[in-house]
Amino acid sequence: MSEADTKAASPPEEAKDERVRQISPLRKALVRPELGSICGVILVFVFFFLIARDSGMFSPEGIQNWTVVSAQFAIIAVGACLLMIAGEFDLSVGSMIGFSGIIIAMMSVTYEQPMWLSIIVAFAIAMGIGWLNGFLVIRTGLPSFIVTLAFLYILRGLTIFLARVTTNKTIIGGVRDAAEGDWLAAIFGGKILTGFFQWLADNGLIDKFVAGNRAGEPVVDGVPMLVVWAIGLIIFGHILLTRTRFGNWIFASGGDAQAARYSGVPVNRVKILMFMFTAFCATVFATCQVMEFGSAAADRGVLKEFEAIISVVIGGALLTGGYGSVIGAALGALIFGVVQQGLFFAGVESSLFRVFLGVILLLAVILNTYIRRSITGER
């Protein structure tokens, strides 16, 4: 007891293990999940500013172009991020996008149901499938990789089957007419701040179209709802993960499910809810896309599951779960969007995008491994 007293009374410096190196504030600031993606964002912007400055990439239209693409990546990345931190994968995201889109178009156009009902049904079915994914993973104890890979094929096949059986086509058009004046469709398809952009254009801050049937309108006429959804989901995901009890349970479930269970964390519920949230994000993506294009196609969303996972990994999450950041995943999505569109602006062969993806994925994983070792003290 006396030993403990003197220990407690002595200044903390003496109690420290002399073999533990002091960690500099700089290194501490660096060892965080977002490090890789922050570096990546800076690098990518500097790079494209140097090679594509004159191409219109940084004009209002150009900015809108890559913002929308990045926002698409971000929407699915938020879901994939929280699920990966909870220790699971979902490879069925891409197929889910195609599936939800076809459900919406089929119900609203082919069966002439109200658009709001079609959207709600699509969300309900998608989240039901997300629940089933989670339930099967929990119940069978199989890796989510296998279970959701099965659903990648099941859903894609069902999507094409449904479209063919009901319409004989794999593309269902006419959604824009069906969505006309629908309150729920506006939340996914419209634009906000249109007045503000008109004002900017009137004051000469952004250009107006000079010819064509949109002459006089600003070249950028508002912020697409897709971008609003992306920002909303990023903020929601970030606060949920870092500030709430449920967020702590997400970390715990992915970090060590058994230890979390011993501490009273409802691991199964957390994981199943995250599968459902991933499905929700995929359906948001699908709905926005269907509203924007005015049609649904059975092949939409191919490879999106991997793009989501790559964004999340660039954002610093560990593939093994228990560690990661929603902000990082969002920055990963931004890198994605900027590079994909930037190569187009710079006039570079677009197939190089895939090469870039592979390289940056490797670099990100190597960096993440280093960060994990720094945190856990492994060698």
For another protein, the binding residues (CB under 8 A) are: 1, 3-4, 7-8, 12, 15-16, 23, 239, 243-245, 247-249, 251-252, 255-256, 258-260, 262-265, 318, 322-323, 372, 375-378
Distance CA 192, CA 352 (A): 34
In the complex with another protein, the residue whose CB is nearer, 57 or 312, is 312
Q: How far is the CB of 29 from another protein (least distance, A)?
A: 13
Q: Are strands 191-192 and 296-297 parallel, antiparallel or unpaired?
A: unpaired
Distance CA 157, CA 129 (A): 15
In the complex with another protein, the residue whose CB is nearer, 3 or 349, is 3
In the complex with another protein, the residue whose CB is nearer, 85 or 357, is 85
In the complex with another protein, the residue whose CB is nearer, 25 or 181, is 25
Residue 241 near residue 82, CB atoms below 8 Å:
yes
With tokens 């099941």, the residue in question is 154
In the complex with another protein, the residue whose CB is nearer, 68 or 274, is 274
In the complex with another protein, the residue whose CB is nearer, 3 or 180, is 3
251-259 contacts: CB < 8 A, separation 24 or more? 251/85, 251/322, 251/323, 252/322, 253/86, 253/87, 253/321, 254/84, 254/85, 254/86, 254/87, 254/88, 254/320, 254/321, 254/322, 254/323, 255/87, 255/321, 255/322, 255/323, 256/322, 257/87
Q: How far is the CB of 261 from another protein (least distance, A)?
A: 9
Distance CA 254, CA 312 (A): 15
> Looking at the chain, which runs of residues are DSSP E strands?
171-172, 191-192, 223-224, 296-297
Q: How far is the CB of 327 from another protein (least distance, A)?
A: 17
Q: How far is the CB of 23 from another protein (least distance, A)?
A: 8
Q: How far is the CB of 77 from another protein (least distance, A)?
A: 20
Q: How far is the CB of 366 from another protein (least distance, A)?
A: 18
